Structure 1
Amino acid sequence: MPEGHTLHRLADELAATFAGGAVRVASPQGRFADAAALLDGQVLEGAEAWGKNLFVAFPAERFVHVHLGLYGRFDVHAGVTEVPPPVGQVRLRLVGEGAYADLRGATTCALVTTEQRDAVVARSGPDPLRDDADPDRAWERIRRSRAPIGGLLMDQAVLAGVGNVYRAELLFRHRIDPMRPGTTLRRGQWRAMWDDLVGLMREGVRTGRIDTVRPEHEPEAMGRPPRKDDHGGEVYVYRRDGMPCHVCGSIVHTTELQGRNLFWCPRCQRRFRSRSLQ
């Protein structure tokens, strides 16, 4: 599933390509046809992301709400002289001056009002990529929960935009046991994690990939080959189960947590034991 940086890049790309101009709006697949007819020929006013939710703004306080889910894609093609016929199940097509964009496979594609958009945002935790994000909102949820921090970081009501990659890498970078209860985390630890996450995700927006290793652990510094993976980017533990940790050499482990694969290094992220149980 695309993580938050992907949605912010997409919002920026849609705004840069279409904002301020009238667009043709269609639903070749047909599932968004009624809403597309209402928007066809209107000016696309802008686009923004909140976590993994994308909102494309049109006049009269109408928004196209998109959630890509596991398999969705929203491909933007700029600088074209001809718009080709749609290929596959295109739920939404936008066509502007010398550009078009096709949405396929999304979990959500719906025309919503400002009130409905605000309701989606209200159910979401703070987004590290937004300037108006309040990390204390997430902290209040974390410090009251005995759920594993590895699960809390993926709960979009706690923290918006973090997926499996950022979750695993953030916990590794801060040497935190993924199974540690949220109630045992210290406020200073959380703020350090938040600040780190903001930096990592902003870099993801800039480059379009997730890179989390520090300079001393990059391939050139370690004399190792670059990572080859369809997710791209240099990482410490994500999808590296059975391989040696870049830091300590121990074998990276994996298990399932709340239906998703979790990756961690058992030496760098030692099992947390509460002092009350020691």
Structure 2
Amino acid sequence: MPEGHTLHRLARLHQRRYAGAPVSVGSPQGRFTAEAATLDGQVLTSAEAHGKHLFHHYGPLGTVHVHLGLYGTFAESALPEADPVGQVRMRLAGRTHWTDLRGPNRCELLDAAQVDAIKARLGPDPLRRDAKPDRAWERITRSRSSVAALLMDQAVLAGVGNVYRAEVLFRHGVAPLVPGRALDRALWNDMWADLVTLMRAGVRVGRIDTVAPEHLPAAMGRAPREDRHGGEVYVYRRTGMPCLVCGTAVAYQDLAGRKLYWCPTCQPG
């Protein structure tokens, strides 16, 4: 599932390419036909992201809410338009580009109250300037759940996925199964600031990089990471490989249906 930086990157792209002008909206697949007819030819006023949710605002006509889920993707192309390929839920076209949305978990036209309700269910997003990290801290400090589970709870913290979860815990030496209420406030403040920095970098470059300069391939004389997720990381999807800091084999277990990675030496229990 795409992490928050991907949705913010898409929001910025769509804001730049489509906002402020009339757009054509269609649904080649047919599952968004009525909603597309309402919006076709209207002005897309703005695009924004909150956590893993993307919102295309059309003023009083409503807002298109997209949640990509596990399989959703956007395909971006320059004009002229081509025939749809596959099951295209929504096609958006503007003055210079067109975009196809395939396989989303949600693609729906909502009113302002429904949009507000979605945002109200989400925790603070490190990529939003209106984020209030104290809200996340209040949930974490009262919880007996593991900090690893809490970081993935979108009601606690919006936009953080499995990669950022594993990497921020490693970077701060936090054992993933430590209860949230055992975290120190100063440590949480540092973790939040680190997430802001890492995720903003992810928006800029379009991938997740978390390793310090001294642990990059060139500095360590090692081969670059080969993984479809891209980026240089410390523990994510490196099960059994030596930790880049201490050499201990990276550990793995399932936690709440998601894969959890950590270094037992750098993140002692």
Please give the TM-score of this superposition, normalised by the length of structure 2. 0.99
Letter of the aligned partner of 1:67 in structure 2?
H
Letter of the aligned partner of 2:151 in structure 1?
L
In the alignment, which residue of structure 2 is the partner of 1:49? 49
Contact 1:61 1:114 in 2 (8 A): no
Letter of the aligned partner of 1:138 in structure 2?
A
Contact 1:148 1:180 in 2 (8 A): yes
Contact 1:42 1:59 in 2 (8 A): no
Q: Separation in 1 of the partners of 2:126 and 2:117?
A: 19
Contact 2:28 2:91 in 1 (8 A): yes
Deviation at 1:21, TM superposition (A): 1.2
Q: Separation in 2 of the partners of 1:74 and 1:168?
A: 26
Q: Separation in 1 of the partners of 2:144 and 2:157?
A: 16
Deviation at 1:170, TM superposition (A): 0.3
Q: After TM superposition, list the pairs within 5 Å mapping 1:38-187 onto structure 2.
A: 38-60=38-60, 62-78=62-78, 80=79, 82-187=80-185
> Which segment drifts farther, 5-14 or 55-64?
55-64
Deviation at 1:61, TM superposition (A): 5.2
What secondary structure, in the 3-state scheme, does the structure 1 residue paired with 2:60 have?
A: coil
> Which segment drifts farther, 154-163 or 97-106?
97-106
Contact 2:17 2:96 in 1 (8 A): no
**RMSD over aligned Cα atoms:** 0.7
Aligned residues: 269
Contact 1:20 1:46 in 2 (8 A): yes
Deviation at 1:91, TM superposition (A): 0.2
In the alignment, which residue of structure 2 is the partner of 1:275? none
2:203 to 205, 214, 221: 205
In the alignment, which residue of structure 2 is the partner of 1:12? 12
What secondary structure, in the 3-state scheme, does the structure 1 residue paired with 2:108 have?
A: strand
Letter of the aligned partner of 2:196 in structure 1?
V
Q: Which runs of 4+ in 1 moved over 4 A?
A: none
Contact 1:17 1:99 in 2 (8 A): yes
Contact 2:39 2:61 in 1 (8 A): no
Q: Separation in 1 of the partners of 2:75 and 2:20?
A: 19
In the alignment, which residue of structure 1 is the partner of 2:238? 240
What secondary structure, in the 3-state scheme, does the structure 2 residue paired with 1:120 have?
A: helix
CA 1:185/1:61 → structure 2, altered by over 3 Å: closer, same or farther? farther
Letter of the aligned partner of 1:155 in structure 2?
D
Contact 1:52 1:160 in 2 (8 A): yes
Q: Separation in 2 of the partners of 1:61 and 1:91?
A: 19
Contact 1:14 1:76 in 2 (8 A): no
Deviation at 1:59, TM superposition (A): 2.6
Deviation at 1:96, TM superposition (A): 1.2
